[in-house]
Amino acid sequence: MNGRPRQGVLYLVLAVAMLLAALAGLGVGPVRLTPVEVWNALGGRGEVTAVAIMRDIRAPRVVLAALVGAALAMSGAALQGTMRNPLAEPYLLGVSGGAAVGAVLAVAGGAPFGLVPIGAFGGAVAAVMLVLAIARAGGRRPDPRVLLMAGVVVGAFANAVIMIALASAPADSVRNALWWMMGSVAGATWAQIAWFAAYGVVSASALLLFAPEIDVLALGDDAAAGLGVNVDRAGRRAYVIASLLAAATVAAAGLVGFVGLVVPHLVRTRAGSRHRAVIAAAGLAGATLVILADLVARTLRAPSELPLGAVTALGGVPFFLFQLRRFR
Amino acid sequence: MPFVYHRSLGLAFGAGVALAAALVAACGDARSRMPADTAVANATGALTIRDDFDDTLTLRAPPRRIVSLNPATTELFFALGAGDRLVGRTHFDLYPTAAQAVQDLGSAIPPNVESVLGVRPDLVLLYASQSNREPAARLHAAGVPTLTLRIDHIADFRRAVGILGRVLGDTARASVVVDSVTGTLERVRVATQGKPPVTAFWKAWDSPVIAIGGGSFLSELVDIAGGKNIYGGDPRPAFDVTIEDVVRRDPDVVFAGPESGERMRAAPAWRALRAVRNGRILIVDTMLVGRPGVRLGEAAVSLARLLHPGSLP
């Protein structure tokens, strides 16, 4: 296989792109700082305001955006392979609906704002488990098509719950949950980044570890079983790890749409058919895209921000339509 | 298959936009302002008023069963001695205490038309938000007259008091209310005149960070109290801002409610703000300063005391 060197170049290009995006994210903001000031402030030197801007505002945003983008893209890449469906992505499989229900219910139940992410994570995990339970009730093996349908059904159910909660909760408190659901890394803190990074590194490593299984699953259930893979267990494992990774992103930054769907397709043609390469490349590309999307979100409508989820979706929709044309 | 995804996102956006609109409307809507001070008593003794929706209200007798769907007008009815004529209010009308005894009809932008009709009003006061256009038309269709007022600025408040005085047939009392508020505001203005202006950022919400802009009466109150709103140049009443933009404008002080101020002290990102590092977060009584009502004068006094301690007794 002559893919190795080409993949090395791909990783290098993606890593450089991510680095450039991060530099842009660190260098651009309402307060103008020269590259030297940016560098010194990152190191804790110079004027106290500049140091605080770099260390407590811009750097956490860039890092959290990178982590969230990487997690969503890796999750999407793994799910598309596992489900053998190019449109599979974590949000379609109940994560977004469940997270939204959890967030809205937490707020409607009078929880303080700090607990909204925990509510969202709980909702996302519950939805993921519910989807899995429904899919398994349909038959012994979790057929990918049944899993997707279960995701759609759970999503519709979640919408109904959200609408009821919105209709009955006071507008004032629901506003919190809604803004938050539109996606943002504006409130990024190092404490939040620390736990998300720990969680993300473990989940992402697991996805990379089980990537060869996903390669086999992508051949089809019968072929995979013929190759000695326990299709049931392998499929469930990939689905749960990928979905929980996406669920954590919702707790960290709200709903950042289309990254999980689009980014794997962006890299797939160049990264080859091995899922370890696709997942890793998707992680780098996802990080780059969300860093740039956050940069757009906070500069395009200054002094206000655009919702991060809206920026990624605006960028994602044209590509998605293009992709649909190719499938026809 | 991805339509569920679209739907849930669309729902989030739709609801978000609606709520953002309601928020802006609740704080005021700077667009399409028009003077509605055209109240005339014609020859037959009927009172005709053109309101902020350009609807004409004709009253042959003072109304006796009034629904007030704006906290500011609810306060006003009590100040004008007509609290006993209220048969409905919004969920948020908690001042004066007597207002809490009036039936709670829920939200106001837009209101539940059926609940409003259920208390058989002979006049409904609405806030001039676009979301209230359709409810106003429905109330008209049901034969219930409406009076829609936009009360965002201090001048709007004065105008509204005058209109309600005429509606209630008690213009003398209305003048007393206006004069008392105007007198107090003037006293505060004089007391803080000549003091070095203090630049201020008014944080109305945390997540997202929402700033009070020049379109809000709060910005006017800050001016009167000897301050200068860093977002006073923006005609909108309230809008979200990035923390770094606030840092760039470098205010001397921050106004915030008790909980909001506490969250600000705890958040690392806000340490980029000089005012926060210097401990200059001024905690406001959100119930007192929250509405452009009869307590505007009191609100200005409380802000002046925070901005310029010792300027007012």
A100:B274 CB<8 A: no
Residue in A49, A261, A305 nearest the CB of B242: A305
Model confidence pLDDT, tens digit, residues A46-93: 889 999 999 999 999 999 999 999 999 999 999 998 888 888 888 888
The encoded tokens of residue A95 equal: 């994560």
* Tens digit of each residue's pLDDT (9 = 90 or more) over B44-80: 567 888 888 878 888 888 888 999 998 888 988 998 8
- Contact B8/A at CB under 8 A: yes
What token pair was written down for A192?
Answer: 């939040």
The average confidence (pLDDT) of chain A is 85
- Separation between Cα atoms, residue A128 and residue A273, nearest integer Å: 27
CB contact (8 A) between residue A187 and residue B248:
no
CB contact B258 to A (< 8 Å): no
- pLDDT at residue A258, rounded to an integer: 85
Separation CA B240–CA B225 (nearest Å): 24
Q: Are B292 and B152 in contact (CB under 8 A)?
A: yes
Q: Does B240 touch chain A (CB under 8 A)?
A: yes
Q: Which chain B residues are within 8 Å of A64, Cβ to Cβ?
A: none
Q: Cβ contacts (< 8 Å) between B23 and chain A: which residues?
A: 175
Closest CA to A89 of A217, A259, A322: A259
Lowest mean pLDDT among A139-143, A237-241, A302-306, B281-285: A139-143
Residues of A in contact with B244 (CB under 8 A): 29-31, 53, 57-58, 298
Q: Which of A246, A250, A251, A248 shows the shortest CA–CA distance to A263?
A: A246
For the full predicted model, state whether its pTM sits above 0.90: no
Q: CA nearest A317 in B: which residue? A: B6
Is the CB of A156 less than 8 angstroms away from the CB of B4?
A: yes
User: CA B147, CA B59: separation in Å to the nearest integer?
Assistant: 11
Residue that the structure tokens 């406001």 belong to: B284
Kindly list the residues from chain B whose CB atom is less than 8 angstroms away from the CB atom of residue A178.
12, 15-16, 19
B1 closest CB neighbour out of A148, A178, A255:
A148
- pLDDT of B105 reads 78
Q: Do B207 and A113 touch (CB under 8 A)?
A: yes
* Rounded CA separation A292/A24 (Å): 8
Å from A302 to nearest chain B CA?
7
Cα gap B303→B223, rounded to integer Å: 10
Confidence band, pLDDT 50/70/90 cuts, at residue B278: very high
A100 CB-near residues (< 8 Å, 6+ apart): A120, A123, A158, A162, A181, A255, B8, B12
Distance (Å) from the alpha carbon of A190 to chain B's nearest alpha carbon: 9
Indicate the range of A203-207, A237-241, A245-249, B32-36 predicted with least confidence: B32-36
CB within 8 A of B43, min separation 6: which ones? none
Torsion angles phi and psi, residue A164, rounded to 5: -65, -45
Tokens of A61: 């945003």
Contact across the interface for B207 and A176, Cβ inside 8 Å: yes
Instruction: From chain B, pick out residues whose CB is under 8 angstroms from the CB of A79.
Output: none
Pairing of the two strands B56-59 and B66-68: unpaired
pLDDT digits (tens, 9 = 90+) for B72-110: 889 889 988 888 888 888 888 877 888 888 878 777 788
Residues of A in contact with B207 (CB under 8 A): 113, 176, 179-180, 186-187
- Which residues in chain A touch residue B5, judged by CB atoms under 8 angstroms apart? 89, 91-92, 96, 155, 257
Give A155 to chain B, closest Cα distance, Å: 6
Q: Which of A33, A49, A131 to mutate to test the interface with B (most CBs of B within 10 A)?
A: A49
What is the residue whose two structure tokens read 């006073």?
B232
Of B12, B243, B244, the CB nearest to A182: B12
What are the beta bridge partners of residue B210?
Answer: B205, B240
Supply A194's token pair. Answer: 């620390």
The minimal CB distance from B19 to the residues A175, A305, A307 is found for: A175
% of chain A residues with pLDDT over 90: 34
What is the Cα–Cα distance from B115 to A308, expressed in whole angstroms? 38
Cis peptide bond upstream of A303, omega within 30: yes
Which amino acid is it at B290? G
Please list every residue in chain B whose beta carbon sits closer than 8 Å to the beta carbon of residue A177: none
CA B114 to chain A, closest CA, distance in angstroms equals: 16
Residue B2: per-residue pLDDT: 32
Task: Give mean pLDDT, residues A301-328.
Answer: 78
Burial pattern B50-71, b for ≥16 Cβ within 10 A else e, equals bbbbebebebeebbeebbbbbb
B107 chain-A contacts, CB cut-off 8 A: 171
What was the pLDDT predicted at A257? Answer: 83
Chain A residue with Cα closest to B241: A304
Burial class (CB in 10 A: 0-12, 13-18, 19+), B138: middle
